[in-house]
Structure 1
Amino acid sequence: MLVLALRALIALARPPFVWRREFVLQSIFIIRVTLLPIALSIAAWGFAGPGLQAGNFLVTFGTIDRAGGFMVVAIVREFGTFVTATVVAGVVGTTITAELGARKIRDELDALRVLGVDPITYMVAPRILALAMMMMALDVVALLFGVLGGYVASVGILGGTSGGFLVNFFANTTFLDLAASVIKVGIFGVLIGVICCYKGLNVKGGAEGVGRAVNEAVVGCLIAIFFVNLVYTQYFLAAFPDVGVFR
């Protein structure tokens, strides 16, 4: 996988950049198939998780207006990025693995190499780049809908005030939080692209092998997302301890 990632990076940096058209097509595909699922899932989670459950806890102490600050931890730093990554891995990652796997078992990839077309340059590199770039954009959408879901629960259901929610949200939200969130999902995008492309390019055993590769790709992506999320967040909080202060 590391070798594949390095070869893709070299292909992206080498003129004449023949991967540009495929990058645009893949970017459109990613946005089209994941935008609505991400928006709905993170809005529902923001409403039910940090919105209702955490909000009920705050109501007990008469501090429901502090719910806005909790959204920074729940949505911006953690679950917004996690939900974005898992949805993309399940929808786009499986498609990439199945597509490349099908081409592999039909010997299409070997035929391309015979014709002088490098599958890494024309197929793998633009997919990895598209995943990284589009996941950054999708993360912003996820943050907006997640906070909106929490707002509806805190203000519309639990009786908080819009002013209190927004003041506490912006008081606890920093540029570092937003930048760290976007960079993290970009890393997730690279991991998903590399893992899924690797599994697709190394399919064995016919159609059954394609199904097995798709399953392995999803499991591998989830494990990588969990691990990187844990390490990245701990490093971020250690490097910038001020962002962990609840204001």
Structure 2
Amino acid sequence: MTVADTKVRLLATGQGALREFGTLFALGLDVLAGMFRRPFQVREFIQQFWFVASVAIVPAALIAIPFGAVITLQLGSLTAQIGASSFNGAASVLAVIQQASPIVTALVVSGAAGSAICADLGARTIREEIDAMEVLGVSPIRRLVVPRVQATMLVAALLNGMVSVVGVCGGYFFNVIVQGGTPGAFLASFSALAQLPDLWVGEIKAVIFGFLAGLVASYRGLNPRGGPKGVGDVVNQSVVITFLLLFFVNFVISVIYLRIVPPKGA
């Protein structure tokens, strides 16, 4: 392979990735527009909401406990080294609410529910059900994609609250029991430095992450290649792509939030 061939392949790969991103962005706009157009697919939305919640709630709760404990234990050891143990509660709780809870929620929703959504739509696509719907004049985006994305968004928002509570309680337990902290200092530091926007930014992140998880899963499910094997491939791709987008978007939102909302007492 010559250098010229390598350059051509790299250029083609870049153009293909840009085309995929443009198609995904266009699908996102169609989904956002479809959320506010009648008729609303209430029955499909309820079914998808129940499915996503049923497969994600238990893993999210189980993962939240060690996440909150690890963050609290690590921050507790660091604050003890610099003589700031009284601020351990605020640091650990804010880390859980702002960063850990939305990420944990989105990873669980994407891994447990997003993969199933992608596989379901991929199977429908290779069986030509999507083409049949289009021939009949039924929009597969409004009929299938929009209810699934709405379900992942709502479940992510609700699960984020649960994960936050479980993570904070787990961190409190390990700080008081394992590290010998005092309950009063933990709660006092949290109430002194935390503010309501810290909770809102976590919920906003969860809703955006849920939207991305449902959107990417639906997009890859509608575009499988190579029959049943292609469905398995797009399921793996949807999870990986969602994870990459989540961490990038989380970084962007965190930077914007820290720039706009000043810390309490600043």
Q: TM-score when scaled to structure 2?
A: 0.87
Compare CA radii of gyration and give the structure with the larger one. 2
CA RMSD of aligned residues (A): 1.6
Whether contact under 8 Å (1:177, 1:243) holds in the other structure is no
Task: Give the number of aligned pairs.
Answer: 243
**Residue number in structure 1 paired with 2:17:** none
Structure 1 residues 72, 151: CA separation in 2 closer, same or farther (over 3 Å shift)?
closer
Query: Quick one: distance in 2 between partners of 1:238 and 1:131?
Result: 29
Query: Quick one: distance in 2 between partners of 1:238 and 1:173?
Result: 16
Whether contact under 8 Å (2:61, 2:166) holds in the other structure is yes
Unaligned stretches of 5+ residues in structure 1: none
2:53 to 16, 27, 31: 31
Matches within 5 A, 1:48-197: 49-61=70-82, 63-197=84-218
**Identity fraction in percent:** 40
Deviation at 1:242, TM superposition (A): 2.4
Deviation at 1:62, TM superposition (A): 5.1
Query: Quick one: distance in 2 between partners of 1:125 and 1:162?
Result: 45
Q: Point out the more displaced range, 153-162 or 163-172.
A: 163-172
Query: Quick one: distance in 1 between partners of 2:95 and 2:265?
Result: 12
Deviation at 1:66, TM superposition (A): 2.2
**Residue number in structure 1 paired with 2:66:** 44
**Residue number in structure 2 paired with 1:238:** 259
Flag as ranges the 4+ runs of structure 1 deviating above 6 A: none
Whether contact under 8 Å (1:237, 1:243) holds in the other structure is no
Deviation at 1:151, TM superposition (A): 0.6
Query: Quick one: distance in 2 between partners of 1:160 and 1:78?
Result: 23
Q: Point out the more displaced range, 49-58 or 32-41.
A: 49-58
SS at match of 2:38: coil
Deviation at 1:81, TM superposition (A): 1.2
Unaligned stretches of 5+ residues in structure 2: 1-23
